[in-house]
Amino acid sequence: MNALDAALAHLGSLDELAARGTPMARIDARTKVVVTVAYVAVVASFGRHELTRLAPLALFPAAVAALGDVPLRPLLLRLAIASPFALGVAALEPLLDRAPAALVGGVAIPAGWIAFASILARYALSLGAALLLVATTGFDQVATALRRLGAPRALVVQLLFTWRYLFVLVGEAARMVRARELRAHGRPLRVGVAAQLVGVLLLRAMERAQRVHAAMVCRGFTGTFPPRGRTRLAAPDAAFAAGWLAFFAAARALDLPALLGAALFGGAR
């Protein structure tokens, strides 16, 4: 199983997760998109040395994963392999920022380590929220929600079409790569051959696009798509949005962990 087969399986499984009738799936897609975007913005708004205040925000992805019945292991696995750039930059923090910033039980912790942890935390929370959005909503619903929230029509149509043909083309690519591997006798894939492969993929893609176009015009397509069904917002959507947005605001404005600590240990800080 090569990388393409794995990617195909991942795409399919995330999409399938969203198709089940979980409580999260019943919330309107627009609500979920707006709340997720707000969440990501709030997480990003914390400074580089704020780590403890990020903790309460982990509640959101945890709750969404729970309500959406999303298995956590594949999600965490996906996060772990996703972004070498961010993690690489994060790893430099302890080297760059060596001033001691906090004292925990008598040990001085350099600010760089806090920044490192903070970046990791932001990464996990933000990107996890993005994955959870699709795992509980389904890509085509997210695209429709974007349209109704004001995204340009051409872009949304583009998203839907890309999504539709993703599986077909990744499947074609997977088969070609696999076929080559079986005749390669261990030799790695070099640039020249890869370019040939990709070139053939492109040719086939363009021919397919012509066929799709023929099929579309034969059924009356003249350049615009008929509007899709409308769903209305309901009480659960409002409650979901109001509740979480209030929580995000509170987490941003107040130092919840400190308050909690003070409440528990009731004393000088």
Partner 1 sequence: MSDALVSPAVGGLLWAGAAGVAAWSARRVDADGDERKVPLMGVLGAFVFAAQMVNFAIPGTGSSGHLGGGLLLAALLGPEAAFLVLASVLGVQALFFADGGLLALGANAVNLGVPSAFVAYPLVFRRILGRSRTRGRVVAASVSAAIVGLALGAALVAVETAASGISSLPLRSFLAVLVPIHLAIGAIEGFVTAAVLLVLWRARPELADPAAPRRPVGRVALGVALAALLTGGALSALASSRPDGLEWSASRVAGAEPAAPAGGVHALVARVQAATALLPGYALPGGRDGARGTSLSGVVGALLTLGVALAGGAALRAFARRGRARMPR
Partner 2 sequence: MSHHLVAVDALRYVYPDGTPALDGVTFAIHHGESVALVGANGAGKSTLLLHLAGVLFPREGRVRVGDWPVTRETLPQVRRSLGIVFQDPDDQLFMPTVEEDVAFGPASLGLPPDEIEARVAAALARVGAEGLRRRPPHRLSGGEKRAVAIAAVLASSPDVLVMDEPSSNLDPAARRALIEQLRRFEHTKIVASHDLDLVLDVCERTIVLAGGRVAADGPTREVLDDAPLLARCRLERPLRLQACPRCGPGARPA
* Position 9 contacts partner 2 (CB under 8 A): no
CB of 35 to partner 2, least distance (A): 23
CB of 212 to partner 2, least distance (A): 5
Decide: helix, strand or coil at residue 269: coil
Instruction: Tell me how far apart the alpha carbons of residues 17 and 21 are, in angstroms, rounded to a whole number.
Output: 9
Residue 65 CA, distance from chain mean position: 13
Question: Residue 50 binds what, of partner 2, partner 1, none (CB under 5 to 8 Å, by partner type)?
Answer: partner 1
Q: 237: Cβ–Cβ under 8 A, 6 or more apart, which residues?
A: 27, 28, 30, 31
Region of 223 (left: φ > 0; alpha: ψ -120 to 50; beta: rest) is left
Question: Residue 31 binds what, of partner 1, partner 2, none (CB under 5 to 8 Å, by partner type)?
Answer: none
Instruction: Tell me how far apart the alpha carbons of residues 8 and 1 are, in angstroms, rounded to a whole number.
Output: 11
Question: Residue 109 binds what, of partner 1, partner 2, none (CB under 5 to 8 Å, by partner type)?
Answer: none
The count of residues interacting with partner 2 (CB under 8 A) is: 28
Question: Residue 67 binds what, of partner 2, partner 1, none (CB under 5 to 8 Å, by partner type)?
Answer: none
Q: How many CA atoms lie within 13 A of 85 on its CB side?
A: 0
Q: Which residues in the 213-242 window bind partner 2 by CB under 8 A?
A: 214-222, 226, 228
**Gap between the terminal Cα atoms of the chain:** 55
CB of 26 to partner 2, least distance (A): 14
| Contact stretch for partner 2 (CB under 8 A) within 26-34, 52-60, 111-119, 161-169 | 161-169
* Position 161 contacts partner 2 (CB under 8 A): yes
CB of 235 to partner 1, least distance (A): 27
Q: Of 130, 165, 169, 109, nearest to 40 (Cα)? A: 130
Residues of this chain that bind partner 2 (CB under 8 A): 12, 15-16, 19, 140, 143, 160-161, 163-168, 208, 211-212, 214-222, 226, 228
